[in-house]
C-alpha cells in the first residue's frame, strides 16, 4: 500500500508543474509528437532497469519509508517500482513532449507547426528527419565519411587562401612592416 501511495505521489509531482504552465497550442503538441515519434532520441528514454532503479530509490528515500537495509523493505520497493515503471516512463515521455511543444511554440506560428507536422508525416519528411538524424550520429561509418570529405575539401582551401593572400598583399603593400625579430 505504501509503495502504491509513494508511486502515485511521484506521478502527482510530475503532473503538478505542468498545470501551472500557460495553455499549449494543439499544433505545437502535434508537431512535437510527430518529431519525437520519428526521432526516438528526443525522448531521452532510459532503459527499463534504470527507470525501475530510479523509482525504487525515490520510494526508499521517502520520509517515513521502511529501512532500506531490510530485505523485505527493498523487495517491496522493487516490486512497486517494477509495477509502476511503465506508467512512470509514459508520464516522462508525455512531459518531454510538452517541453518540446513549448519550445516549438516559442519559435513557430501555429499554422507553420501544422504544415510542418503534415509534411513530416509524409515520406519526404521522414527521409528529411532520417538525414538530420544521420548528421547527428557518431557511428563509425558517418565519422569515416566525414573525415573523407574533410580531407577532400582541404584540398580546395589552399586555392581560396591563395586568393586571400594575394588580396592581402595588394592591400597591405604600403603599410609599414613589423620589425624583424
Mind listing the pLDDT tens digit for each residue in 117-139? 999 999 999 899 888 888 877 77
Average pLDDT over residues 56-71: 89
Contact 15/100 with Cβ under 8 angstroms? no
Buried/exposed code over 15-24 (b: 16+ C-beta within 10 A; e: otherwise): eeeeeeeeee
Cell 557518431, residue?
138
Domain ranges of the chain: 2-14+25-121
pLDDT at 95: 86
Q: Is the pLDDT of residue 14 over 50?
A: no
Q: Is the pLDDT of residue 58 over 50?
A: yes
What's the pLDDT band for 20 if we cut at 50, 70, 90? Answer: low
Query: What count of Cα atoms within 13 Å lies in the side-chain half-sphere of residue 25?
Result: 19
Q: Is the pLDDT of residue 1 over 50?
A: no
Q: 9-18, 32-41, 59-68, 100-109: which range is least confident on average? A: 9-18
Q: Is the pLDDT of residue 8 over 70?
A: no
Give Cβ neighbours of residue 68 (< 8 Å, ≥ 6 apart). 60, 74, 77
Most confident among 49-53, 88-92, 104-108 (mean pLDDT): 104-108
Average pLDDT over residues 33-49: 78
pLDDT at 7: 46
Q: Is the pLDDT of residue 41 over 60?
A: yes
pLDDT at 22: 73
Q: Rounded to the nearest 5 degrees, what angle is found at the Cα of 14, between the Cα atoms of 11 and 16?
A: 110
Rounded distance between C-alpha atoms, residue 97 and residue 80, angstroms? 26
Average pLDDT over residues 99-105: 91
Q: Is the pLDDT of residue 108 over 90?
A: yes
Buried/exposed code over 92-114 (b: 16+ C-beta within 10 A; e: otherwise): bbeebbbebbbebbeebeeeebb
pLDDT at 155: 67
- Which ranges of 20-109 would DSSP assign to H, the alpha helix? 26-38, 48-61, 71-107
Q: Is the pLDDT of residue 31 over 50?
A: yes
Instruction: Retrieve residue 105's grid coordinates.
Output: 511554440
Amino acid at each position: 500500500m505504501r509503495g502504491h501511495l509513494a508511486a502515485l505521489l511521484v506521478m502527482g509531482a510530475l503532473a503538478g508543474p505542468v498545470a501551472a504552465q500557460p495553455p499549449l497550442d494543439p499544433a505545437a503538441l502535434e508537431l512535437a509528437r510527430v518529431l519525437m515519434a520519428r526521432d526516438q532520441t528526443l525522448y531521452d528514454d532510459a532503459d527499463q532497469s534504470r527507470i525501475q532503479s530510479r523509482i525504487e530509490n525515490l520510494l526508499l528515500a521517502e520520509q517515513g519509508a521502511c529501512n532500506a537495509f531490510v530485505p523485505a523493505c527493498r523487495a517491496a520497493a522493487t516490486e512497486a517500482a517494477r509495477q509502476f515503471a511503465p506508467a512512470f516512463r509514459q508520464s516522462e515521455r508525455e512531459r518531454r513532449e510538452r517541453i518540446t511543444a513549448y519550445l516549438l511554440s516559442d519559435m513557430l506560428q501555429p499554422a507553420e507547426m501544422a504544415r510542418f507536422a503534415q509534411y513530416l508525416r509524409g515520406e519526404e519528411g521522414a527521409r528529411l528527419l532520417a538525414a538530420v538524424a544521420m548528421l547527428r550520429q557518431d557511428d563509425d561509418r558517418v565519422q569515416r565519411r566525414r573525415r573523407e570529405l574533410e580531407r577532400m575539401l582541404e584540398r580546395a582551401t589552399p586555392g581560396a587562401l591563395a586568393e586571400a593572400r594575394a588580396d592581402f598583399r595588394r592591400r597591405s603593400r604600403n603599410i609599414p612592416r613589423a620589425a624583424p625579430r
